[in-house]
Amino acid sequence: MQAEAIADLMARDRAAAGIALDRALMALHGSGEARELCALHRLAERYWKNDPAQVAFHRTHAYVYALEAGDRAAEAALRNALADEGRI
C-alpha cells in the first residue's frame, strides 16, 4: 500500500493504518525505493506524533532516504526539524 493510501486510511481507522504502514515499510525495506520509503517514514512520523522516540526514529530514516532520493525539499525540511531537536 502506498503512502497516500495509508494517509487516507489514517483518517478513518488508525489501527488499520498502523498495520498497513508497518507492512509497507517492511515490504519496501532494501528495495531501493528511496522516495517512497521517505514518504512512508514521514507518514510514520505523523502516525507516532505523540511518541518522541518514534518521531525521531522515523524522521531520521526519512532524512536518509530523502538524501538518497535527491529530494532537496524533503531533505531541507527534515534536516531543519532534526536540527531544531538537537539531533544533527
Does the pLDDT at position 66 exceed 90? yes
DSSP symbol at 31: S
* 66 in Cβ contact with 75 (< 8 Å): yes
Instruction: Identify the band that residue 40 occupies on the pLDDT scale cut at 50, 70 and 90.
Output: very high
- pLDDT above 80 (res 1): no
pLDDT of residue 21: 96
Summarised one tens digit per residue, pLDDT across range 14-30 is: 999 999 999 999 999 99
Note down the domain range covering 11: 3-84
CA geometry: angle 3, 37, 54, nearest 5 deg: 85
* Spatial contact of 42 and 5, defined as CB atoms under 8 Å apart: no
Whether the model clears a pTM of 0.85, i.e. scores above it, the answer is yes
Give pLDDT, residue 81: 96
> How many domains are contained in the chain?
1
CA geometry: angle at 87 spanning 30 and 33, to 5°? 20
